[in-house]
Chains A and B, each alone.
Chain A
Amino acid sequence: MFDYVVIGAGVVGGLVARELTKYRLSVCIVEKTSDVAMGATRANSAIVHAGFDAKEGTLKAKLNVQGSEMMEDLCSELGVKYKRNGSLVVGFNEEDEATLHSLIERGEKNGVKGLSFVRRDELVKIEPNIGDGVTCALRAETGAIVCPYELCIAAVGNAMDNGAELKLNFEVKNIEKCGDVYRISSENETVEAGAVINCAGVYSDDIARLVGDDSFSVRPRRGEYMLLDKECGSLVGHTVFRCPSKMGKGVLVSPTVDGNLLLGPTAEDIDDKNDTSTTPKGLSHLSSLASEQVKGIQLGKVITSFTGLRATGSTGDFIINSPIDGFINCAGVESPGLTSAPAIAKYVVEMLKKSGRELKENERFNGVRRPLHYFRELPVEKKNEIIKENPDYAHVVCRCETVTAGEIIEAIRTNPKPTSIDGIKRRTRASMGRCQGGFCTPYMVELLAREMGVPVTEITKSGGESYINVGKTEKGNI
């Protein structure tokens, strides 16, 4: 019996769980996939939005601005890479110019600081590679970039370090309320809790229905992205958004905190909540839009493309409510969901307090987490001290991103523990470079199998049936 069960280990679920561990409560996160950060958290724009986009007066607007203000401190506590690089929303004509002015006005009403309007002559001074057709821009100094899955991994890891439990491969099939107790069941396991927080992303409407709440629905909106080699990462310093218009909304060209260049997303409403495929049409549309915003994008330097599904709620706003006592929805958390997530976590706790639930402070809570990338940032002398203790830190496994066996083993042993090659990749960047695992995958397979104590043939790319190898060769069997 837990005090709280959080359904969904995305960035919202992770931060909600972590917020709950600040109190003397037992918390369990259940996640249907084999790792955390596997839904929208894994594939989004990685942006901390300033807060001029959401309509004034909405929950979205309020939590966006709050979240944006909280993000830097949170990232520093959790050891997550964060960079306040500023955003630009670029316009191509007079119509766009008018839109940008109204966005500034809206932003100011929302309480966003540091907004200004810049014309092309000024713009080319701060971003020399801005597209030739761009005439003006909205500049938002508080815009920032962060790595979303890193934030989620850190949040869940920190929650676990503070006592939370994580159950992976736990797909919620049924929720029963017996008196004050919720019984949450997967196919083969049941957990009990005093209260449930529904952070199930695109599936949050399905989860709500399990307790009889059909007041909203969530539709997946496909967003396709392309990630370019680090060689291209300095093409722009700011995140360059496109002014929302008939031609498209929200496509951005942005550096990432790891130094790559990100293009995306497209926006297409679809029906299948599992369909994270990319499409030829989407990728080509994206290429042409992005190239109008910023010139000199070398599409030959794409190292990977991917699709994220935004959880678009039917109300147009975030759906954070309590349809029945002890059950809270955090649903419809589409953009700016990542930015808002820290504020959503606080908001949920405030709701609980208001509803009369007892929350006693946990004095032993430690919100600081040492990031997994601490090693790579150390000066040479410090690295050599660590290597002297543990030579694995001098054994480079991933040559493109210079990731050592020591870092990979540490990641495998750190909460939340990865169970697949992609899990290691998201925690260490191993195989995320330009060769995309060509050289290091066979070695990572061996390391993970050794650490997990399973045969190498059991190792998967990303959980489920995604086996890297289907068996042994004839000679390999001898």
Chain B
Amino acid sequence: MTELNNVRRADLVVIGGGPAGMAAAVAAYEKGLRDILILERDDNLGGILRQCIHNGFGLHRFGEELTGPEYAYRYEKQVKEYGIPYMLNTMVIDVDENKVVTAMNRECGIFTVEAKAVILAMGCRERPKGALNIAGTRPAGIYTAGTAQKFVNMKGLMPGREVVILGSGDIGLIMARRMTLEGAKVKAVCELMPYSGGLARNIEQCLNDFGIPLMLSHTVVEIHGKDRLTAVTIAKVDESRRPIPETFETIPCDTLLLSCGLIPENELTKASGIRLDRVTGGAVVDGERETEIPGIFACGNVLHVHDLVDYVSEEAVIAGEAAVKYIRGEKSHGMALNLVTDGKIRYTVPQKITSAEKTKVYFRVANVYRDVKIVVKEGERVILERKKQKVAPGEMETVLLSADMLAACDKNATISFSLEEVKK
């Protein structure tokens, strides 16, 4: 074992070597920055994409359909070709407001890196069973969809044979198909809401194509089984999402997979004192993905949960390039626009805009709405309007605010985002 080398320096430390972290590091490199260090907790670059062996990645970014590992490999190859330094099996345990990053790995023990800028790209995790507070026993056989995906795709292990899935998030839908292809029987996908949280294409390709029923407005109310799961009781829910007793139905199964939402993994962010957005669970950032601590940026699923990795990469480029500007003292703060939403739109990322440069604003809606228009206003002045036939919580929306639009705003304006009905 090498000598412990416990204090290092780097211009830019990127926490996380998944799609966001790699794309941010590559973007920073392409802007001329060389002293970069990626810290990755797993034993390979690629993050969660490594276990996403299905296709459908890269249509926007590369104009072709790739599997998760293929998509990740495009970036991994670039990181390696550029010679961007990275450390694997390295867990970051602290980031402070002075951009001192503390991490640990087998070679260096516990060490710190003093950085000029930091990009947070830790991704997200799945909501566990406990958080759902389902009554009943606590047997084996209950996993989040992602854990099951890891067992099946990375470890060659079958977590079960007869499956019920709670939640219709994308990983749940993907795993419904995956488990079916591996010979398991997927009996139902229950979704608490009256609509699915997953992408329309996944419902088509992963459920409908295999005849797996999607039971909307249904939930699991009780878990049965002492050692291993033997059954779940499901129920239809009323408008206030309360189970309706007459609809209780017990389905024998040995596995319950949960796909009930993703939570940005912001423990480090929180501990460093960065303000988080209560809705996204990620940091409050400006158009260049800078958090409220200057020089600390965030991108990808740690900032807000994305539907497509293509958008993660796009956002990571913004953060990577902005970090270089920050290090060079070129990041401008000419404005302080505050972005607010009306409730039908749940959040925007960014939440603030600090320079009058072209800015793409991402957002999600709270429910399924038809025949609406997205309206962006400064006070009563309409900046932009866009008609949509249908918007849904499962599909992230974007609008592009041009430099001219932003330059026309008062420097400290509040910009509102709302959904309005379109009269036919």
Contact = CB atoms under 8 A, between A and B. Distances in A.
A59 interface: no
A278 B223 CA distance: 9
B60 interface: no
A437 to B, nearest CB: 7
A288 interface: no
Given A280-B135, A472-B156, A384 B146 contact: no
Interface in A227-243: 227
B151 interface: yes
Contacts of A282: 135
B109 A394 contact: yes
Contact of B182 (A299, A305, A474): A474
Contact of B130 (A305, A380, A457): A305
Given A457-B157, A469-B159, A305 B106 contact: no
A283 interface: yes
A226 B226 CA distance: 20
A274 to B, nearest CB: 7
Nearest to B254: A470
Interface string A171-189: 0000000000000000000
B41 A399 contact: yes
A303 to B, nearest CB: 4
Contact of B221 (A280, A395, A461): A280
A2 interface: no
B158 A471 contact: yes
Interface string B252-285: 0010000000000001000000000000000000
The A interface, classified by DSSP as helix, strand, loop or mixed, is mixed
A435 B126 contact: yes
A468 B228 CA distance: 8
Given A280-B221, A437-B147, A461-B140, A388 B228 contact: no
B155 A476 contact: yes
Nearest to A440: B147
Nearest to B221: A280
Given A402-B91, A438-B126, A305 B133 contact: yes
B247 interface: no
Contacts of A439: 125, 147
Contact of B135 (A227, A279, A442): A279
B136 interface: yes
Given A383-B109, A396-B91, A442 B131 contact: no
A303 B165 CA distance: 20
A466 interface: yes
A259 interface: no
Interface string A235-279: 000000000000000000000000000000000000000101111
A453 interface: no
* Most chain A CB within a 10 A radius of its CB, from B93, B108, B223, B267: B267
A470 B4 contact: no
B4 A436 contact: no
B268 to A, nearest CB: 10
Contacts of B226: 274, 464
A441 interface: yes
B125 to A, nearest CB: 5
A356 B129 CA distance: 54
B305 to A, nearest CB: 15
A125 interface: no
B150 A442 contact: yes
B138 A306 contact: yes
Contacts of A280: 135, 221-222
B128 A384 contact: no
A302 interface: yes
A475 B39 CA distance: 32
A283 B135 contact: yes
Interface string A283-301: 1000000000000000111
A115 to B, nearest CB: 36
A392 B1 CA distance: 12
B152 interface: yes
B131 A476 contact: no
A477 B152 CA distance: 12
Interface string B157-177: 111110000000000000000
A473 B4 contact: no
A399 B122 CA distance: 12
B213 interface: no
Interface in A293-325: 299-306
Contacts of A133: none
A472 B254 CA distance: 15
Contacts of B144: 438
A396 B104 contact: yes
B41 A470 contact: no
A469 B141 CA distance: 8
Nearest to A380: B110
Given A303-B131, A384-B6, A438-B125, A476 B157 contact: yes
Contacts of A279: 135
A466 B226 CA distance: 8
Given A279-B135, A384-B109, A473 B104 contact: no
A277 B159 contact: no
Contacts of A299: 133
A474 B153 CA distance: 11
Given A388-B4, A391-B107, A441 B147 contact: yes
B367 interface: no
Contacts of A394: 104-106, 108-110
Nearest to A405: B106
Contacts of B254: 470
A470 B147 contact: no
A476 B183 CA distance: 13
B182 A473 contact: yes
A220 to B, nearest CB: 15
A279 B135 CA distance: 5
B227 interface: yes
Nearest to B105: A394
Given A466-B227, A473-B152, A474-B183, A384 B131 contact: no
A339 interface: no
B93 to A, nearest CB: 6
B147 A460 contact: no
A92 to B, nearest CB: 26
B159 A395 contact: no
A137 to B, nearest CB: 29
A442 B156 contact: no
A191 to B, nearest CB: 26
Nearest to B138: A306
> Which of A384, A457, A460 has the largest number of chain B CB atoms within 10 A?
A384
Nearest to B110: A380
A126 interface: no
B104 A470 contact: no
19 contacts: A277-B222, A278-B136, A280-B221, A283-B135, A301-B131, A302-B131, A384-B6, A384-B109, A394-B110, A395-B106, A435-B126, A435-B128, A438-B128, A464-B227, A468-B140, A469-B157, A472-B157, A473-B156, A473-B157
Given A300-B131, A388-B1, A439-B147, 19 more contacts: A301-B131, A302-B133, A380-B110, A384-B4, A387-B106, A395-B105, A435-B125, A436-B128, A436-B130, A438-B125, A438-B147, A442-B147, A442-B150, A442-B157, A460-B140, A460-B227, A468-B159, A470-B161, A474-B183
Interface of A: 226-227, 274, 276-280, 282-283, 299-306, 380, 383-384, 387-388, 391-392, 394-396, 399-400, 402, 434-439, 441-442, 446, 456-457, 460-477
Interface of B: 1, 4, 6, 41, 89, 91, 93, 104-110, 125-126, 128-131, 133, 135-140, 143-144, 146-147, 150-152, 154-161, 182-183, 221-223, 226-228, 254, 267
Query: Closest 10 A-B residue pairs measured CB to CB?
Result: A476-B156, A304-B130, A391-B106, A461-B140, A436-B128, A396-B91, A466-B140, A465-B227, A466-B227, A384-B109
